[in-house]
Amino acid sequence: MSAMTDEVDLADPATFANRDMKAFWRAVRDGSPVYRHAAGPERRPFWVVSRYADVLTVYRDDRHFTSTRGNILVTLLAGGDSAAGKMLAVTDGERHKQLRQILLRAFSPRTLDRVADRVRDNTRRLMARAVMRGGCDFARDIASDIPITTISDLLGVPESDRDFLLSLTKSALSSDDAGAGDQEALLARNEILLYFGDLVEQRRRDPGDDVISVLAASTIDGQPLTEDDIVLNCYSLIIGGDETSRLTMIDAVRTLAGDAAQWQALKDGEVPLGVAIDEVLRWASPTMHFGRTTVTDVEVGGVPIPAGEIVTLWHSSANFDERVFAEPDVFDLHRTPNKHLTFGYGPHYCLGAHLARVEVGEMLSALRTFADDFEIAGPVERIHSNFLTGVSSLPLRLRPDSAELEPYLQASGVSG
C-alpha cells in the first residue's frame, strides 16, 4: 500500500484531473485508512483520513483538532490562514458560536423562504429557455447562474457585478485552465476581498435588508464587527454559496445523461425529490476534503498522530465507504438512508446546506418538468483543483416535454 500512497500526490490538482480516484480510495480505505502523506518540495507532510467513521470522529472533536490554522490544504500547507478568528470557517470556540449565531439570523427561515421563491423562478426560466432552444452548455448557461444569483441576492450584490464575481469565484480555489497557477488563485481571492470591502463601506452608509447590512449592524460582546470580520465572512459565503451547488448540479446532469433508468425514475416521479437530492450530493462530493490541525497528541482509527500535524478529511472517499453505503459506486436516487458528509458535520456543518438543497432540488424539478430527455453533445471539460472536483463545461442537447414547456412559456412570457 505504501507504494500506491507514495505515488499519488493529493496536493497536486493534476492528480484529480487525470485519474479516476475511486479505485485508489477503495484501496486506501481497506489498507491504510489513516496514513501520513509524503512531503513534497518545500511542502510538509500531512495526514489523510479516508473512512467515514474516522472522518466523522474528527469532525465531532473540537478539543483535539482545530480549524484556526486553516481548513483546506492550500492554506494549511502555506502555514496557516490569516482569517483565523474572523472568518467562521476558521474560527473555533466561543467566538465561532457567536459568529454563527449572527449569520444564522441573517439566514433566517423567513429570508430563506423568500429566496427559495426567487430560486424557483430563476431556475425554471433558465431551464425552459435552454430546452426551448434545444440545447445549452449546462455548466456555463444554467449551473453558473443559479447559485451566484442566489447568494448575491442574499448579500446584496448588484446584478451588474455578478458576472465579475463569478469569474473570481471560479478562480479562487479551482481553475477551468490547467495552466493556471497559485498566483492567479491568490489574485482572485484578493479581488473578492477588495470588492466586499467597498460594499461594506456602502452598507455602513446606506443599510439595506441584506446579509452585509445585518453583519454591519451586529456586535459581539458589545463590540461591532470589524470590516475584516465582515469582508472575510462575505468571502466565505460567496465561495461556499457558489461552488458546492454549481458543481453538484453539473455532476447530477452529467451522470443522469448516462443513466437512462435513473433519469426515468426522476422524470416519472418514482423517487421523492428530497431523497434524490441527497444521492446527488453524495455522488458529486464536490468539496473533496476539509482539514484540521491537531492541538494535542491524538489517535484516529487507532493510528497515533502527534500535536501540530495537518489532518485532511476526504469526503470523496468517506461518501463512498462500503462500511456505510451499500454498493457505493452505484448512482441510486432511491438510496435511503443517505447520511453523506458533503456538508461536513459537527460545529462547522455548512451554514448554506439548506440553500444548496433548495438550488439542487429546483434544478432537478425544472429539468424533469421541461425536458423529455437530454444527452451530452460535446466534450466535457473538468476543473483543476486539489480541493474541488467537477466539470466546467457540459454541452447538452435537450428534447422538450411540450405538454409542460409550452404552457409555461405562454404563461410566463419567457423567450429565447
Note the pLDDT of residue 390.
94
201 touches 163 (CB < 8 A): no
3-state helix, strand, coil in the chain (%, to 5): 55, 15, 30
Reported as type and span, the H/E element at residue 147 is: helix 145-155
Q: Which three cell numbers stand for residue 218?
A: 451586529
| Mean pLDDT, rounded, for 181-187 | 79
Question: What's this model's pTM, rounded to 2 decimal places?
Answer: 0.94
Least confident stretch, 104-118, 142-156, 244-258, 299-313: 104-118
273 touches 280 (CB < 8 A): no
| Mean pLDDT, rounded, for 338-354 | 95
Note the pLDDT of residue 23.
95
What is the C-alpha to C-alpha distance for residues 244 and 390, in angstroms, rounded to an integer? 10
CA 121-122-126 angle, to 5 degrees, is: 120
- Sheet strand arrangement including 289-294: 34-37, 46-49, 310-314, 289-294, 65-66
Residue 337: beta bridge partners?
Answer: none
Say if residue 174 is exposed, middle or buried (CB neighbours under 10 Å; 0-12, 13-18, 19+): buried
pLDDT grade, residue 171 (50/70/90)?
Answer: confident
Classify the C-alpha dihedral 21-23-26-28 as positive or negative.
negative
Helix (H, G, I), strand (E, B) or coil at 114: helix
Gyration radius of the chain over CA positions: 21
pLDDT grade, residue 239 (50/70/90)?
Answer: confident
Helix (H, G, I), strand (E, B) or coil at 21: coil
What is the C-alpha to C-alpha distance for residues 34 and 303, in angstroms, rounded to an integer? 7
Q: Which three cell numbers stand for residue 414?
A: 419567457
- Sheet strand arrangement including 371-376: 135-137, 395-400, 371-376
Please check the confidence at residue 276 and state whether its pLDDT lies above 70.
Answer: yes
Of 140, 142, 127, give the one whose Cα is nearest residue 366. 127
Residue 184, domain extent: 2-412
User: How many separate domains does the chain show?
Assistant: 1
What is the C-alpha to C-alpha distance for residues 264 and 336, in angstroms, rounded to an integer? 19
- Find how far residue 398's CA is from the centre of its chain: 26
| Mean pLDDT, rounded, for 157-183 | 79
What is the C-alpha to C-alpha distance for residues 140 and 165, in angstroms, rounded to an integer? 14
285 touches 389 (CB < 8 A): yes
pLDDT grade, residue 114 (50/70/90)?
Answer: confident
Q: For position 394, which CATH number holds?
A: 1.10.630.10
**Residue showing cell 449551473:** 143
Reported as type and span, the H/E element at residue 7 is: helix 2-7
One DSSP character per residue, 217-268 reads: T-EETTEEPPHHHHHHHHHHHHHHHHHHHHHHHHHHHHHHHT-HHHHHHHHT
Please check the confidence at residue 180 and state whether its pLDDT lies above 60.
Answer: no
What is the C-alpha to C-alpha distance for residues 370 and 361, in angstroms, rounded to an integer? 14
Reported as type and span, the H/E element at residue 282 is: helix 273-284
Reported as type and span, the H/E element at residue 289 is: strand 289-294
Please check the confidence at residue 11 and state whether its pLDDT lies above 60.
Answer: yes
253 touches 167 (CB < 8 A): no
